[in-house]
Amino acid sequence: MSKPKNTFTPLIVANWKMQLNTAASVANIKKFRKELRNFRGRVQPVICPSFTALADASKALKGSKTKLGAQNLFWDEKGAYTGEVSPGQLQEQGVEYVIIGHSERRQLLGETDVMVARKMIAAVTHDLMPILCVGENAEERARGVHENVVRRQLESALRSLPPPSQSKRVYIAYEPIWAIGTGEPADPAQAEDIRAVIERTLVDLYSEATVAQGFRILYGGSVTLDNILDYVRPNGYDGVLAGNASLEPAVLAAMIRAVNTLFTTSS
């Protein structure tokens, strides 16, 4: 499957998890903006701080190219759902992207494929760009069922979704659980195998044209400045979802500049 020309716009997503309070998130954004001063590249940065930091983060990002993302959302817009946050409430804070089905939520908080599917529909119907996380654990990899796991997660999350388009994209993040926060990223060849599985699964669910226009695939799991270009390429992954490495503003900015060199060296 070939992507349409000139649509390689790598997405670098910073997932700050529950690591920073509001003051630290804003301080990080200010440092990051300084580091990235005068950047005019094609790479699209997205920063996903905690819910409580979204409003201040949104202000701190005003006038920058970087977009705001959330780490989760609820599938309904309003109601008696103690502790949950709706798509509209996220948009009110300036959120444009949302991470859905991160393995930490699936494993620690009991998020199921069914819940993930509902959240996907909620995101796209409210014009939030979803970043759907899929990936196997170490035991599933050892048993050799990793491709089936990823395929099942994708089919379940996407089955009822209206076809995405170039302006309303769906991002898939392949995040092998054993690679998250461990300092042991997937071997680039292993990651490439799964990228191909994801692409095939998407083509089975939608038309080739829809997949080429409407989907982009990211890699996540111990991404660093040293290894990011092992994954992101015009004919490889379309970006990354980075946790630990993204917490250091200078490193996050350097990763964005590194990916942007793909444009200056390839054309």
220 forms part of the interface with ligand PGA (CB under 6 A): yes
- Our CB check for ligand PGA shows the closer of 213 and 244 to be 244
Tokens of 171: 């991002």
Residue 112, Cβ neighbours under 10 Å: how many? 11
Query: Helix or strand or coil: residue 77?
Result: coil
Q: Is 248 one of the catalytic residues?
A: no
Check: CB of residue 76 under 8 Å from CB of residue 43.
no
Candidate residues 12, 123, 180, 217; the one interacting with ligand PGA per rule CB under 6 A: 180
**Choices 22-30, 58-66, 150-158, 215-223; region in contact with ligand PGA by CB under 6 A:** 215-223
What residues numbered 160-179 form the site for ligand PGA, per CB under 6 A? Answer: 175
Site map 185..204 versus ligand PGA, x via CB under 6 A? --------------------
- Our CB check for ligand PGA shows the closer of 28 and 244 to be 244
Q: Using alpha carbons only, what angle is made at residue 216 by residues 212 and 219, rounded to the nearest 5 degrees?
A: 140
Picking from 80, 69, 62, the residue whose alpha carbon sits closest to that of residue 15 is 69
DSSP conformation class of 153 = H
Which of 102, 136, 146, 192 is catalytic? The answer is 102
β-partners of residue 97 are: 69, 129
Spatial distance between the Cα atoms of 127 and 140, rounded to a whole number of angstroms: 34
What residues numbered 226-245 form the site for ligand PGA, per CB under 6 A? Answer: 241-245
Which of 104, 175, 184, 192 is catalytic? The answer is 175
Tokens of 218: 């990211």
222 forms part of the interface with ligand PGA (CB under 6 A): yes
Tokens of 224: 């660093």
- Our CB check for ligand PGA shows the closer of 115 and 251 to be 251
Tokens of 222: 């111990």
- Name the residue number minimizing CB distance to ligand PGA: 243
252 exposed, middle or buried (CB, 10 Å; 0-12, 13-18, 19+)?
buried
What residues numbered 6-65 form the site for ligand PGA, per CB under 6 A? Answer: 15
In the complex, minimum distance from the CB of residue 180 to ligand PGA, in angstroms, rounded to a whole number? 4
Q: Is 102 one of the catalytic residues?
A: yes
Active-site annotation, residues: 102, 175
Interface residue list for ligand PGA (CB under 6 A): 15, 175, 180-181, 220-223, 241-245
